[in-house]
Chain A
Amino acid sequence: MTVLAEGFNAFETKKSPEGTVKYLGSPQDVIKLLSSGKLADHILLVRGGTTTFLSPALSMGAIGIITMSGAPESHLGILSREFQTPCVMTAHLTSSDSRYIVGDADESHFEEMAAQLEGKKVRLDVTDSEVGRVVLVD
């Protein structure tokens, strides 16, 4: 089992969604994905832990989320729990020392995350109460 990234687990569940990582950088990206009808094919990768950015995707049935900031107490953490959509928050690459630091986040951290995860087929392992894992699907 190759763990690509780890982070806070928004809530514990036996659900283990699989999909191709899709980085969403703007509201237009979100609308475009919804219009494509392929929402259920993707694990969504976003920067923030806020809710509004992903609102329509959550509402329409996103299967799994990876965030680069935020915690289970963040709005997106709360909503992913309510939707029962597995969510790994403030994920970091297991192959990198770069970490998200509140108020002092380096742009390169986000770029590296997006570059390393985008397009990979992954599964979210969120059975642990604290740690969520992004596992590479061979």
Chain B
Amino acid sequence: MNWLTTENTGSCAALNDIPEVGYAEFYDDLARRLADARYHVAHYFALPSGDRLRFFCLLLDDREGKVLLASHALAYYEETALHPALTALHPALHPFERDIAERYGVRFDNMPWPKPLRFPFDRCDRAGTMDNYPFYTMKGGSLHEVNVGPIHAGVIEPGAFRFICNGEQVLHLEIALGYQHRGVEHLFGTTDNRLRQACLSETVAGDSAVAHATAFAEAIEKLTQCERHAQLERERTVALELERMAMQIADTGALCMDVGYQLGQVACEALRTMTINTTQAWCGNRFGKGLVRPHGTDHPLTPEKARMIRDNVREIARRYDEVRRDIKSSPTLLARFEQCGIVPRDEMLRIGGVGQAARASGVARDIRVSHPWASFAKCLHHESIVKSQGDVMARLTVRCREVLQSAGHIDRLLELYEQKYASGPSPCPAPDYTAALAPSSLSFGLIEGWRGETCHVIITDAEGRIAAARIKDPSLHNWLALALAVRGEGISDFPICNKSFNLSYCGHDL
């Protein structure tokens, strides 16, 4: 089958250039390719186009570093056409096919898990609501169900967890999401205000504001095809790696808290404060909101700020390394973290896990390595940290080592800045909210945020306006990994399994 082959550093694709094939051919080809671990689907979605529904697929080839684009179409009211579900062969596709079915009423034949995904406001079947989510049930005198949520005990986002337990042991966990659905994707198409769209991308998931804003800016810049200053790319990468450090440190602290290890908890709380205060001293916002904008920045580095960030990051890395060594040498912590919540490699591959959770299960998926963009394609050499055990400890270890690795990247990028612009401010231009977008095109931003691969797809209409945005947070894949991780574990281990993933509710619900 013919795919349009492009790269993460390439430009946008005209909608007419994206091959359109019959579903049978698409199904056979994709099913065959996905049997090889070098391929995985970055995004697969449907869009109404006239009286048809056109399905676009972004397939990533990790070995060659390519992005493959293809599409198929369906007459909108063609009720008789039942498409065989790819999920039946490759469970990794379940969130995409469920989303398409939920929004547009497309029926996939032989779908093994035909469940609602997020109850969007524009869903096809209005009879389905949050209250009647069809939870999986099991019968048996020795079984009981535990429901948690949507409001959780802590100060976090809502989502409903339904456990089926045999005594203390979890047999099955089902996670019902959608409480956070705000209709973000839809809002991108309702405005021409590019600043508003950039701000919307930051609010897709507030703890990944830099990651989503970078993915959005990447997608926009592919559509305007303007040259981008290398220093701008380096500054965005510094911001992204600062965000990664802050969140991996926060989760280290959260894991310590959940096993009652107060020293690790408070030390990490203080270090996270220091990290996000560094971001705040740079751009005025602790989460980096406002830092990443299309074509430029409002907060170019100055020699003083670069020095401040470098000094702080070094100190954070030094102190965090002490915490890391302490955790590793505490048997009572290891007893809780090791051999708990295991997701084996083959399972992680089948469900299409991404990001640091996948890397902890031996699946070396990392956009920074496989599809490098901006600085990762130029001045930075990144090597993924991969562990094979797939347990809570492995996920924690990946986090720990990524903090130190990110600190190294930041130091290198700021060293480059100091070498080039030691005497003056950074040459980054101000943002541009008016640059014209290529009409009738598809563009994507694909980056590795702290949770994993983050993908923004933007489709423009004939006038060059944003007609639709399709956003994928890595949580979309990884929620299922959490459900599998707790199988067979005691229910009291759920909190540490949950924290070891720390997935986004709003990033999933959009």
Pair from one complex? no
Q: Interface on A for B, CB 8 Å cutoff?
A: none
Q: Interface on B for A, CB 8 Å cutoff?
A: none
